[in-house]
Structure formats: structure tokens, C-alpha cells
Structure 1
Amino acid sequence: MITTSFLAAASSLFALSYGAPVPRTNAATPRSPVERDVSYTIFGGDGTTAQGWPQKSQWVDFDTQFNAVKDVINTACGNHGWGANNDPTETESIYSGIVAASESTGVDKEFILAIMMQESKGCVRAPTTNYGVRNPGLMQSHNGAATCNEGGNVQTPCPQQTIHDMILQGAGTITGFGLQNTIELSGASDVSKYYKAARIYNSGSVDASGNLGAGIATHCYASDIANRLLGWTSMSESTCNEGAIGSIGGSASNGNGNAGTPVEEEPEEEIPKTEEPTTPNNGETNPTAPKAPGAASGCQKWYTVQSGDTCENVAKASGIDFNKLKSLNGGLDSNCSNLWLGYAYCISA
């Protein structure tokens, strides 16, 4: 999955975790893509319209959205060093693949497109990442199979069937953890189910507080998706602050007219870190929580990640340093962007 630095930990979902569009009778008159991509609206809180998140009637329709991001799609591979840019046939296959996946899964085309743009910017040769779970292709799907860039083996052109499979494996339930399933896992029946589903697709869970900017992985992920659904193409700068969005309880306008309920100003200080224990945690010998992918074989002690944990405080709480924690848990990346809530990590072997 691609995050702000691209191909970070978007779909590194829990190892256990994991359509035809609704007619828009009340949709506002669409503006041009240029008008819509003026600026970014910060969406904080729980994903509900009561906290300012967009109603479905505010989403840009699929064709308008696709045309607005086509330039980004067509230049994404070259911009990120992932091989040749998409040719027209490959980009057309993305369009038809999203339509087919929507019809097959019932997941809205607009939502599939927004997730795809967040993950790969539409490059059909986006590389496969693996931080304990395989995440390939356009959707960086959880344990997906389809890809046109495996271990540096880049395929040009990327076949239409492979492109369609990449999209379906992210949108559907072929691997059990696609958007169709994360929408169900959201437990919501209103429009917030999409924003919650996006957060689950990114990190495997929604923070216990319900705030979509809190917890682990990419804090701005759900806000980014809401903006993409409103027509943001990522060509204008995001003003979402990864360190502060978890403290916001509603939307904050930056002048593009898309803001919802006014909220208090964003605090200047970073969110306080979880208080570290004064004595090391001796760990568990037989954790009941699922064990993190890539943990050392023969591990003797385990630490189960709690809400608010970071690699730094997990390591300190366990009486080790981060390098030791990473060496014992091969699935962790160097930035610790894929620490999974509720999973047990090895702290002694």
C-alpha cells in the first residue's frame, strides 16, 4: 500500500483481518477537476457526517474523478521509478477493471478508485511490498497474487487480465481482506462505513477511541480518502499533519468550501505519547493474541501491542532497544509504520 511516502504500510492489515454505485439524486453540480483540486480539507474524528465528513451525495462521480486523476495515473510509474509509464491501453484497463470489480463486489467505483490512487497512484507496475504480508499491485492488496512488478521483475506491457485481477483482489474478498470485507468489518450502516473501511484497509483496525486519525499506521489515510472522493487529486498539497490529526474531532476547512462542522483549532503540540512504564515488561510466554508475521522462531517472550503503542515505547517497556525489537520481528519496517494493534511481538528469543 502506498502512503505519503508511497508503498508504506497501507494494506498491511491484520493477518486475521481481513458494485454498482448508488444513484446520486441529490448530488451537487460537479465543478471542473481544476476547481475541485484547489486545496485539502482535514477530516478528523469518527467518519460521521455529524463530525463534518462528506455525505455520499458530495462525492465526485466516477467518470469525473477518473478524468481528474488521469494525468497522475499516466505519469505515476516514471515519477516513482517503477518502470515505464502506463500506456493508453493499460490506463483503459484500469478503468474497465474498476467497473468490473464494482459490479462483482458491490463496492462503489468511486471508493475503489480513491483507494487505488492512495495505494499506487495508478501505476500498473507498482512494486510488491512485503512486511510479513504480501501486498502487490495497484491496490497493494492483502496477500494478493496479481502484480506486474515482483522483486524487480517488471512486466511491460502489463496484461489486461492482470490489471483486472489486481483491482479485484483489492476490492473483493478473494484473499478475504478486500474492501468488500473491510466495509462489513466497519460495523457501520451510514457513510462512515467507507471512511472506517479505508482505515481498516490501511491498518487492520480502527483505534478504540473511534478516531480515524488515531492508532497505528498512516494517520491521515481516511482523511486522504475522503478528500479524493471530493475530487482532490493529490496534485495540490495535503495539509494533514500525521502527528496531530488524531486529536481532531471534526473537519477543518482550508478554504475549498468542503468543510463540515467547525471544530476547535488544531493544537500546535504533538499528541502526547503513551506513558512508558518505569520497569521493563517481562512479557508473556504464551500470548493469546495472534503473533506478528516475521517474529523469530523459538521466541520465548512476547509483548501484545496496546492502543497508543509505538515501537519506541514497546522496546523500552520490554527492556530492549528498537534495533533488537526489529531483529526479533522481521515483519517490522525501518520506520515502524506497520506495528499492528492487538498483535504479539517477540521481545526475547
Structure 2
Amino acid sequence: MLVIPLILAAGSLSTLVFGAPVPSTHSSRNTAASIHSLVERSADSYTVYGGNGDVSEGWPSQSSWVSSFDTLFNNNKAIMQSSCSQWNVPNDSASEINDIYNGIKTVASETGIDARFILAIMMQESNGCVRAPTTNWGVRNPGLMQDHNGAATCNENGVQNPCPTSTITQMIRDGAAGTSSGDGLKQCLAQAGTTDVSMYYKAARIYNSGSIVAGGNLGGGVATHCYASDVANRLTGWVFATHSCSEASIGSMTGTTASGGNDNTGTPSSTTTTTTGGNASPANTVGSASPSAQKAPGASASCKGWYTVQSGDYCAIVEQKFGITMAQLMGWNTQLSGDCSNLWLGYSYCVSA
């Protein structure tokens, strides 16, 4: 698979997709849509889910998802508040985040799709940045959902700030209900061909790559191999914990497993079910003593700590994981650009020197 920069999860159908995680409070503009400050934190861990999406293969039942949309939304708000900075555009305002909340609720009601699933896909695609740029890897994917050639966007041929309420809702609608050019989540759920919880995981795979590989393994085929596993984890509370899914090996798994290591640390076992530990403690992490993958161009020759970029990472996440600044990251990796557009999946970067 072609290695492309980890700019954004560019998701809908026949594209290559990446996504990433991060929680907080939210002020509402009206009582009906009011979201209480964070009162519940679900277990923040990452489990690698391999196979066909069935509960019998270790995938989470719907009862193990974060219990309410409000809680799941609150848990992910901090990433919405900071995710636009990687593209040097204004981060989401409180009003825009409120519009995302209301937009998801509106579209969930229109389409009958679980609001939690819409939110998980949105976070996987754009981290909730209302000014996420349009990507095009053969298919034009704009907006919050990186939908299939939709019209709504706040970052194409100019950046809109603020992003209009109607545009935010339409970006969500285009991803969930589909567009005149291609399918959305509603059509992908129908194509999944099941009525149990596996339909969500299969629909995530279809939304990302357009199809499910013969044999049904959701880690196989093209695009982002860990996509369905990532979405399942987002639904069950993953925000900060170490991402332990290997793009290289998940397609051969037939069960679930998890480890605290980087993506390139080996092949997960195939039939046991375990879970990772909770939130990483960024300031206490100094990186690996030696790189576990090919060194990034310009990486310091005197580096003392290495980190291999995982699906979903961007510079702000790496900085947070290791308690470093962007200036330090660029100083230790001299060919890394200031807009983070060449942070490469599967390469080892210096995070301590």
C-alpha cells in the first residue's frame, strides 16, 4: 500500500483513510441541546479487533459501547477543540462544537443511524475539525465526514471562520445519508448484510474502502486496515490510550488482542482477547531506545528516544504523548515540515535527544 502523509482521515469509498483521538466541557446555546460537563469517563483503552466483526470473534457488543451519545461526545471534545491546528486553520469554537452536537443529533433522527456511530466515524475521518481540508485520492472527500463528493465544506478554495451552522449539519448529513455521487453510512449499513452489531463494523469498512475483502476480514483489502478496529474502539471509549493495531498484520487476524507497543512491534496473536492499559502518561514517556521501523528523513543521529507513527497520529498527538513541543520535534527531525504534512505512517521519529 502506498504510504501517504498522515494529514487527515480521508474516508469515503475508494480512498486511503487515517484518523486520531483526544475530552472536556461544552457550553450550549440552548437548553434542549444542553450537554452536561463530563460526568462519566469510560475506560480508555485500545483492543485490536481482528476478523469479520462478529461478537463471536471478540468484537464488542452494542451493550459495551459508551452508554450515551452525550458521554461519548464529551469524551472527545478536546480533540475537536485542538484538531484544526495541524492544518494551520482556526480550531473549532464552542459554538461550532455545539453545532456538531446538534447536527449529529438531527441527522441521526433523519436517518435512523445511532448517533454514537456517526460521531465515531466523524472522529475517525476528521477528528471533528469543521475546517478539515478536502482530500482527493481519486475521489473528492470534503468536510467533517470526508464524504463522497459532497458540496458542504468550510475549507476548500478558502477557509470559512466561523463555519456556518447549516454547513456543519450538511457535512454530517452528506456523510451519513450519502450524496448524489456516492454512498453514506446509511447505504453502507444496508450493504453490510447483517442486522446484529457487526453491521456497524462492516459498514465502517465499506465506508472507508468501498467494499469488504473476500472472506470478510475487516482488516483486509485496501485503505486503512485498522479502520474498523479503530471505530469499534472509539465506540467503547478509546480516546488517549496507546493505539496498538498493526496495519501490516491485522488483515491476517481472526480474533482480538492488544498490546502497548507501536504498530511495528510484531504480529498480534490471533485468538486471545485482552485489553490495553488506560490513558498514556505523556510526560513520563521518553520513547524507545532504538527505532522499530525505518528512520524518518532528517532524524537526529544522536537521538535517545524513538517513536513509530501509528494510524491516527498527527504532530499534536505525538507532542502530547511525549510532553514535547513542535519546535523540539522539528529540531530532532529536521525534514519535518511546520504544518506536519509529512509525518509518515510507519516511520520512526526522534522524540528525545
Please say whether Structure 1 and Structure 2 have the same fold, judged by a TM-score greater than 0.5: yes
User: How many angstroms apart in 2 are the aligned matches of 1:238 and 1:212?
Assistant: 17
Asked if structure 2 preserves the Cα contact closer than 8 Å seen for 1:126 and 1:137, the reply is yes
User: How many angstroms apart in 1 are the aligned matches of 2:244 and 2:5?
Assistant: 12
Structure 2 residue 58 is matched with structure 1 residue 57: no
Note the residue ranges of structure 1 that are not aligned, 5 or more in a row: 15-29, 256-260, 267-334, 336-349
Task: Give the Å deviation of 1:188.
Answer: 1.2
Residue of structure 2 in register with 1:5 after alignment: 6
Secondary structure, in 3 states, of the residue corresponding to 1:85?
coil
Residue of structure 2 in register with 1:195 after alignment: 201
Task: Give the Å deviation of 1:81.
Answer: 2.0
Larger-Rg structure: 1
Structure 2 residue 271 is matched with structure 1 residue 263: yes
Task: Give the Å deviation of 1:7.
Answer: 2.4
User: How many angstroms apart in 2 are the aligned matches of 1:12 and 1:164?
Assistant: 21
Q: Equivalences for 1:97-176 in 2 at 5 Å?
A: 97-151=103-157, 153-175=158-180, 176=182
Task: Give the Å deviation of 1:253.
Answer: 4.2
Asked if structure 1 preserves the Cα contact closer than 8 Å seen for 2:130 and 2:168, the reply is yes
Paired letter, 1:263: T
Secondary structure, in 3 states, of the residue corresponding to 2:71?
helix
CA separation of 1:31 and 1:228: change in aligned 2, threshold 3 A? farther
CA separation of 1:82 and 1:105: change in aligned 2, threshold 3 A? farther
Residue of structure 2 in register with 1:230 after alignment: 236
Asked if structure 2 preserves the Cα contact closer than 8 Å seen for 1:10 and 1:203, the reply is yes
Secondary structure, in 3 states, of the residue corresponding to 1:150?
coil
Residue of structure 2 in register with 1:252 after alignment: 257
Asked if structure 2 preserves the Cα contact closer than 8 Å seen for 1:203 and 1:217, the reply is yes
User: How many angstroms apart in 2 are the aligned matches of 1:46 and 1:4?
Assistant: 28
Please give the per-residue CA displacement for 1:128-150, whole angstroms capped at 9, x wherever unaligned. 11122210000000111100000
Residue of structure 2 in register with 1:72 after alignment: 79
User: How many angstroms apart in 2 are the aligned matches of 1:123 and 1:236?
Assistant: 21
Q: CA RMSD in A?
A: 2.6
Task: Give the Å deviation of 1:254.
Answer: 4.5
Task: Give the Å deviation of 1:189.
Answer: 1.5
Note the residue ranges of structure 2 that are not aligned, 5 or more in a row: 16-37, 261-268, 275-343, 345-353
Asked if structure 1 preserves the Cα contact closer than 8 Å seen for 2:254 and 2:270, the reply is no
Q: Equivalences for 1:242-321 in 2 at 5 Å?
A: 242-254=247-259, 263=271
Asked if structure 1 preserves the Cα contact closer than 8 Å seen for 2:147 and 2:175, the reply is yes
Secondary structure, in 3 states, of the residue corresponding to 1:149?
coil
Paired letter, 1:66: F
Asked if structure 1 preserves the Cα contact closer than 8 Å seen for 2:141 and 2:149, the reply is yes
Residue of structure 2 in register with 1:290 after alignment: none
Asked if structure 2 preserves the Cα contact closer than 8 Å seen for 1:44 and 1:249, the reply is yes
> Which stretch of the first structure deviates more once superposed, 138-147 or 125-134?
125-134
User: How many angstroms apart in 1 are the aligned matches of 2:101 and 2:273?
Assistant: 39
User: How many angstroms apart in 1 are the aligned matches of 2:49 and 2:82?
Assistant: 28
Secondary structure, in 3 states, of the residue corresponding to 2:271?
coil
CA separation of 1:74 and 1:237: change in aligned 2, threshold 3 A? same
Moved over 4 A (4+): none
Structure 2 residue 203 is matched with structure 1 residue 210: no
* TM-score, normalised relative to structure 1: 0.65
Secondary structure, in 3 states, of the residue corresponding to 1:154?
coil
User: How many angstroms apart in 1 are the aligned matches of 2:113 and 2:5?
Assistant: 24
Please give the per-residue CA displacement for 1:286-320, whole angstroms capped at 9, x wherever unaligned. xxxxxxxxxxxxxxxxxxxxxxxxxxxxxxxxxxx
Asked if structure 1 preserves the Cα contact closer than 8 Å seen for 2:154 and 2:167, the reply is yes
Asked if structure 1 preserves the Cα contact closer than 8 Å seen for 2:133 and 2:143, the reply is yes
Asked if structure 1 preserves the Cα contact closer than 8 Å seen for 2:205 and 2:218, the reply is yes
Asked if structure 2 preserves the Cα contact closer than 8 Å seen for 1:9 and 1:203, the reply is no
User: How many angstroms apart in 2 are the aligned matches of 1:86 and 1:160?
Assistant: 12
Task: Give the Å deviation of 1:36.
Answer: 1.5
Matched residues, number: 241
Residue of structure 1 in register with 2:32 after alignment: none
